[in-house]
Structure 1
């Protein structure tokens, strides 16, 4: 991957080897969608519930913790429900600036425990989920959700990880 910047605000993330999991998840997502990971840029913020609640309030008017947030560099949503979003195009510098993702430690950990899934697997899933959002995928309606979940399951399967929706 060209650039994966990781900002760790909560030291609990260091026990996970987040850099390896994030690089693997982002790369697998991009490769699956035929996007060159070698020219792609993504920033990941590894924070806690307090920080993500502020971000969620500021950007979505929902001042509560959530597992993952994403901010695409460009709007790429599909023209119609269930459609494929526009592929990113490289800028003048030849790079694909995809955007930013934030993850909250406490929420991710609680969800993994509630689902009886390994924490690392859940985090990998959420990074794939966030990367898909950066690429214009969403789950606003049933058709979009079906497409996005199918892609998540395929990408996780390529990594040898179980379907989180089963």
Structure 2
């Protein structure tokens, strides 16, 4: 498996993560759900204003959010001729991630790992619209987090 992670931080937002950590989290998630091959993923860091604008535009929710996932829209007919499969983009708002981590008494790095894993699962078809889907997705997230040495992200102190 060869995974390319592009970390985009146009606004030079301060953060506690780097592309090597992100790549490890993404690769561990993909291996856990048995996805293989050459692929790329883009992680974009945005401020709260942009997070709110994206959330309103794509989810019709007028508030900033911690994470958004956008699956690749490359047609299947082109996938076979491209050198790598682009999974899609995960957008994170560091200001919200930091705030949530503090409120939930979690390390900021663990919260980033969880949200990037969550976004990666979304890019691979996982959803949480139904109770059963949510349970399945949460179980995968917990398993991946444990493999990475992080605590269960759903246990709030």
* TM > 0.5: yes
**Which runs of 5 or more structure 2 residues have no equivalent in the other structure?**
74-78
Contact 2:13 2:47 in 1 (8 A): no
The answer for the alignment partner of 1:97 in structure 2 is 86
**TM-score under structure 2 length normalisation:** 0.88
* Equivalent of residue 142 in structure 1, options 118, 127, 131: 131
Match of 2:152 in 1: 163
Match of 1:109 among 87, 98, 112: 98
Where 1:65 maps in the other structure, the secondary structure is coil
TM-score by length of 1: 0.84
Indicate whether 1:131 and 2:120 are aligned: yes
For 1:1-25, what per-residue CA distance to the aligned partner results, in whole angstroms no more than 9, with x for missing partners? 4321111134333x41321221111
* Shift of residue 165, structure 1, vs aligned partner: 1.1
**SS class of match (1:137):** coil
- Comparing 147-156 with 58-67, greater Cα deviation is found at 58-67
- Flag as ranges the 4+ runs of structure 1 deviating above 3 A: none
Provide the rounded CA distance (Å) in 2 between the counterparts of 1:53 and 1:22: 23
Name the structure 1 match of 2:27: 27
The alignment covers a number of residue pairs equal to 150
What displacement does 1:94 show?
A: 4.3
Instruction: Confirm whether residue 73 of structure 1 aligns to residue 58 of structure 2.
Output: no
Shift of 1:96: 2.0
* 1:9–1:48 CA contact under 8 A, matched in 2: no
Structural RMSD (CA): 1.7
